[in-house]
Amino acid sequence: MGGHWKNCTEHPEFHLVAFSRSVKLQFTLFSGTLLVYMLAIVGNIVITILVCLVPQLHTPMYAFLCNLSVQDIIYVSAILPKFLVITITGDTRISFLGCITQMFLFVFCVGTEFLLLTSMAYDRYVAICIPLHYALIMSRRTCIILAAVSWLIGFLDSLAQSWMVVDLACYSIQDINHFYCDLKAMIKLSSSDTKVIRTFLSVVCVVLGFLPFMLILTSYAFIISTIVKIRTTTGRVKAFSSCSSHLIVVILFYGTSLVSYMKPESEASQEEDKLLSLIYTAVVPMLNPIVYSLRNQEVLRSIKNIGRKCSTCKLGLPG
């Protein structure tokens, strides 16, 4: 272990230096984030409940979507409430344990989401390219295994990363230049040796980011080549619309995370980086349910059905 020559604190309390302090900006950030947070929670809860209640939605695609919604609820709740409190009170303190918990949940959910999106791409590939074997291949058992493996790998990865950060121990600066305890921002503050954790992060980036991305691209290459070969236009539209929601979510999710990780670092762009991160963490989870429900006849129809049932209930009540 090198670098113990600097003054440092072991497991200190941190300060989340979110955004530059201008009252007007704080207010906009607070109300915007609160709105997005509530929409994300409500939208994802609605999706989860719908998928559980409506038998037509008991398909692998919606089961995975339900998994995504649960992930989204966990990770926005790990980060945004604290950010809201910081923005409104101006008290930027966060305990070491609080920080590690935030980081753990965030890394856990993001890692798992990459894998769930990959499982969903595989599901679409089987549905469109080998439809005759769909029921056989995407059996209940396969789906449970795919989902369980996604959660498990996400969990182990996050556990390892959090462990390493706890192990870093020695921090010479306590101001985290971010709106949540971001791993990369925390590593910068440590005066312990961060070589191991940096190497681990590069490996994780390839295994949980790049590799799933390649698998998704491959699935879509097959899907597109199959769709192009379909003779009728209606058939083509139907096949494409069954995977368009997933494609939009993949582009949103990978687009924002690729941009934020590939961008060269500079002091001037740090505010932009944080704003981009805020969008990536808050807006994307809010969009998932919207993309899936608005673009999807099955979901819309279930919502209408439930609405109709409710109004008949009300009408049936005496008085």
Ligand X SMILES: *[C@@H]1O[C@H](CO)[C@@H](O)[C@H](O)[C@H]1NC(C)=O
CB of 53 to ligand X, least distance (A): 13
CB of 38 to ligand X, least distance (A): 21
Instruction: Give the span between the Cα atoms of 48 and 30, in whole angstroms.
Output: 27
Instruction: Give the span between the Cα atoms of 289 and 47, in whole angstroms.
Output: 6
Stretch that binds ligand X, among 60-68, 93-101, 129-137, 203-211 (CB under 6 A): 60-68
Near ligand X in 178-217, by CB under 6 A:
none
Q: Does 40 bind ligand X (CB under 6 A)?
A: no
Per the CB < 8 A criterion, the answer to whether 205 and 43 are in contact is no
Instruction: Give the span between the Cα atoms of 263 and 161, in whole angstroms.
Output: 22
Q: From the list 40, 47, 57, 67, which residue makes contact with ligand X (rule: CB under 6 A)?
A: 67
Stretch that binds ligand X, among 65-73, 79-87, 98-106, 205-213 (CB under 6 A): 65-73
CB of 45 to ligand X, least distance (A): 12
Stretch that binds ligand X, among 35-43, 62-70, 193-201, 253-261 (CB under 6 A): 62-70
Near ligand X in 126-165, by CB under 6 A:
143-144, 147
Q: Does 63 bind ligand X (CB under 6 A)?
A: yes
**DSSP of 269-310, one letter per residue?**
THHHHHHHHHIIIIIHHHHHHHHHHHT-HHHHHHHHHHHHHH
Give me the half-sphere count of Cα atoms (radius 13 Å) on the Cβ side of residue 262: 9
- Cα dist. 158→163, 184, 228 in Å? 8, 14, 40
Residue 265 per-residue DSSP state: P
Indicate the residue among 144 and 159 with the shorter CB distance to ligand X.
Answer: 144
Residues near ligand X (CB under 6 A), total: 9
* Structure tokens that stand for 278 in this block: 């805020």
Q: Does 294 bind ligand X (CB under 6 A)?
A: no
Q: Does 66 bind ligand X (CB under 6 A)?
A: yes
192: three-class secondary structure by DSSP: coil
Q: Which of 61, 89, 78 is nearest to 147 (CA)?
A: 61
Q: From the list 70, 115, 120, 170, which residue makes contact with ligand X (rule: CB under 6 A)?
A: 70
Indicate the residue among 88 and 152 with the shorter CB distance to ligand X.
Answer: 152
Indicate the residue among 142 and 174 with the shorter CB distance to ligand X.
Answer: 142
CB of 54 to ligand X, least distance (A): 14
Indicate the residue among 99 and 120 with the shorter CB distance to ligand X.
Answer: 120
Enumerate residues 6+ apart whose C-beta is below 8 A from 182: 103, 106, 176, 277
Instruction: Give the span between the Cα atoms of 197 and 185, in whole angstroms.
Output: 13
Indicate the residue among 4 and 140 with the shorter CB distance to ligand X.
Answer: 140
Q: From the list 43, 60, 154, 285, which residue makes contact with ligand X (rule: CB under 6 A)?
A: 60
- Cα dist. 315→270, 303, 308 in Å? 56, 18, 11
Indicate the residue among 94 and 243 with the shorter CB distance to ligand X.
Answer: 243
The residues that touch ligand X, with contacts defined as CB under 6 A, are 60, 63-64, 66-67, 70, 143-144, 147
